[in-house]
């Protein structure tokens, strides 16, 4: 494998729903859970409906991919922490304690096929760094020399 090798994506699906309160962050469900008055505005109703539909769509997608997921050695997931529970919801083929699941340790932009390929390339690649291994005695001598030079320059 090299970074220039073409990648064939066999399974990818982007789901986007309006579930976040504009300029306030957080989902409608988290806003409702805080307590107080239950907001019944049109926007709040739309966000609640979209949260429910998002959960249903994610579950349907995961169930349709069950055979493929069962064969995976690793499953990399990127989802904001407030949405990560959706992947492990009741009936999901990926239980919460599944040891194959790993979080994507990268910044991810919009969930497109090209972005999925970019993340795959980064996860599948390695970087080599050359580190010189000085003995502890060499390190102590170098530190003493540096201290002497600092004292002489004062």
Per-residue pLDDT reduced to its tens digit, 2-30: 556 777 778 878 777 777 666 665 555 55
Chain centroid offset of residue 128 CA: 24
- The Cα 29–Cα 41 span in angstroms is 14
Q: What is the pTM of this model?
A: 0.64
Per-residue pLDDT tens over the stretch 33-55: 556 556 677 777 888 888 889 88
Instruction: Please report, rounded to a whole number, the percentage of residues in the chain having pLDDT higher than 90.
Output: 15
| Annotated catalytic residue, options 24, 28, 89, 90 | 28
Examine the residue annotation and report whether 90 is marked as an active-site residue of this protein.
no
Q: How far apart are CA 154 and CA 152, in angstroms?
A: 6
Q: Output the average pLDDT for the chain.
A: 78
Q: Is the dihedral of CA 104, 14, 67, 57 positive or negative?
A: positive
């Amino acid at each position: 494998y090299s970074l220039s090798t073409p990648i064939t994506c066999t399974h990818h699906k982007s789901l986007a729903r309006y579930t976040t309160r504009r300029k306030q962050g957080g989902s409608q469900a988290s806003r409702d859970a805080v307590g107080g008055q239950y907001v019944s505005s049109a926007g709040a109703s739309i966000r609640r409906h979209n949260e429910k539909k998002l959960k249903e769509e994610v579950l349907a997608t995961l169930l349709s991919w069950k055979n493929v997921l069962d064969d995976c050695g690793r499953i990399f997931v990127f989802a904001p922490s407030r949405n990560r529970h959706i992947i492990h919801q009741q009936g999901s083929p990926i239980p919460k304690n599944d040891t194959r699941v790993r979080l994507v340790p990268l910044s991810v932009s919009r969930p497109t096929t090209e972005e999925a390929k970019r993340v795959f390339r980064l996860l599948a690649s390695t970087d080599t760094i050359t580190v010189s291994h000085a003995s502890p005695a060499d390190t102590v001598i170098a530190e003493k020399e540096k201290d002497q030079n600092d004292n002489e320059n004062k």
